[in-house]
């Protein structure tokens, strides 16, 4: 672990401790993998992080002991067997702690039963969003990881433009995207690749099917990849064959709405105003009822993070937020269009991470 990385995790733990003190917590406990990775660097599949006022403890099992040695920043690293909470209890980590925070949004009923058994119900304090609020503001090391993920997805988009032909199934195209992501260095897809062609484009989350792509159809491609734990997320809608005048008209409405949304992003603007700027353009063009989802969301160690870019969001954008801008128009039994960029909020505007062209591409 480099000195720079150690300093980054130290700053994050300090920020967490400040949030803990505001809630008068003696400790914060998490087994949520995005939370744990953010706070100490762990990238395995089973781990427990305990942060007290002056110590950090990381626990995992035998499978990850080599990863722990090289990647994890913690004052004490423990390799145990069975329930990691039980191991922590036997190690006496909780013995003098009274108010112990657990992430209520991350606990299953089964996990809660385990916590109550080994920690004691009276000492449990349920928390919500403590680390998520910290993660919403990316540092430059995180932006660098995101840029690498987007470089891969942009490269994949350019490659698939030379592959798409009438008669290819949505599933074939989805498989090509997944294959190319890994070929160019990604760990995995960020989510199931969305390929929605023709009338299936009216499904905002139209996961690929056996449907064949036909001439004269829009194809919506929503995909992203995972690189060093960070996600890319982009959407482009292309046309295979010549579009109708109506298709072009609606595409241009979405294009303009998306660009207006991007142009409005800056530090200090409310998330709901960004949403309104894009949404208002679609409404004024007569297609408001065909845009039913929020404009965007945060992206990082998880594909959906804070802040929420939505009509009822109370979030205010700050420098370092990484958000999607993804308006769409979905006309049942006809077609659908969505265009999505991911941007970094800066003081005077935004930095667009997606470099693929947004103008209508006709194959």
pTM score above 0.85: yes
How far is residue 189's CA from residue 229's CA, in Å, rounded to a whole number?
A: 11
pLDDT at 2 over 80: no
Report the pLDDT averaged over residues 200-214. Answer: 96
Domains of the chain plus CATH, in order, are: 3-135 (3.40.350.10), 140-352 (3.90.230.10)
Report the pLDDT averaged over residues 280-287. Answer: 98
Percent with pLDDT over 70 in the chain: 99
Confidence label for 88 from pLDDT (cuts 50, 70 and 90) = very high
Report the pLDDT averaged over residues 300-305. Answer: 97
Tens-place pLDDT, residues 321-353: 999 999 999 999 999 999 999 999 999 999 999
Report the pLDDT averaged over residues 307-332. Answer: 98
Q: What is the pLDDT of residue 202?
A: 97
Is the bond into 145 cis (omega within 30 degrees of 0)? Answer: no
**Mean pLDDT of the chain, nearest integer:** 96
If you search the block for the tokens 């700053």, which residue do you land on?
Answer: 11
Of 115-119, 219-223, 261-265, the range with the lowest mean pLDDT is 115-119
Tens-place pLDDT, residues 136-180: 999 999 999 999 999 999 999 999 999 999 999 999 999 999 999
Confidence label for 3 from pLDDT (cuts 50, 70 and 90) = low
pLDDT at 1 over 70: no
Tens-place pLDDT, residues 36-74: 999 999 999 999 999 999 999 999 999 999 999 999 999
Confidence label for 112 from pLDDT (cuts 50, 70 and 90) = confident
Confidence label for 34 from pLDDT (cuts 50, 70 and 90) = very high
């Amino acid at each position: 672990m480099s000195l720079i990385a150690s300093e980054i995790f130290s700053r994050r733990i300090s920020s967490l401790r400040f949030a803990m003190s505001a809630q008068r917590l003696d400790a914060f406990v998490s087994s949520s993998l995005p939370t744990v990775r953010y706070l100490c660097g762990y990238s395995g599949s089973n781990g427990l992080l305990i942060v007290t006022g002056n110590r950090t403890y990381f626990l995992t099992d035998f499978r990850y002991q080599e990863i722990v040695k090289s990647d994890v920043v913690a004052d004490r690293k423990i390799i145990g067997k069975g329930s990691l909470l039980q191991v922590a209890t036997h190690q006496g980590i909780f013995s003098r702690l009274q108010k112990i925070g657990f992430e209520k949004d991350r606990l299953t009923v089964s996990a809660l039963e385990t916590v109550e058994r080994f920690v004691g119900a009276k000492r449990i304090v349920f928390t919500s969003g403590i680390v998520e609020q910290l993660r919403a503001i990316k540092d430059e090391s995180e932006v660098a990881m995101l840029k690498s993920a987007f470089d891969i997805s942009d490269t994949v988009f350019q490659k698939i433009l030379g592959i798409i032909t009438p008669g290819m199934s949505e599933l074939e195209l989805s498989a090509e995207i997944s294959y190319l992501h890994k070929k160019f260095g990604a760990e995995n897809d960020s989510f199931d690749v969305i390929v929605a062609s023709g009338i299936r484009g009216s499904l905002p989350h139209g996961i690929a099917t056996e449907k064949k792509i036909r001439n004269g159809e829009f194809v919506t491609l929503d995909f992203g990849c995972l690189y060093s734990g960070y996600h890319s997320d982009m959407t482009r809608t292309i046309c295979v064959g010549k579009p109708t005048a109506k298709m072009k008209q609606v595409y241009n409405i979405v294009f303009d709405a998306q660009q207006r949304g991007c142009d409005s992003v800056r530090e200090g603007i409310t998330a709901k105003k960004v949403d309104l700027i894009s949404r208002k353009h679609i409404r004024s063009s007569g297609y408001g009822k065909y845009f039913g989802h929020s404009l965007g969301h945060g992206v990082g160690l998880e594909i959906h993070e804070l802040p929420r870019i939505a009509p009822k969001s109370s979030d205010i954008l700050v420098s370092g937020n990484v958000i999607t801008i993804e308006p769409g128009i979905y006309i049942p039994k006809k077609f659908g269009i969505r265009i999505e960029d991911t941007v970094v909020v800066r003081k005077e505007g935004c930095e667009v991470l997606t470099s693929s062209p947004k103008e209508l591409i006709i194959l």
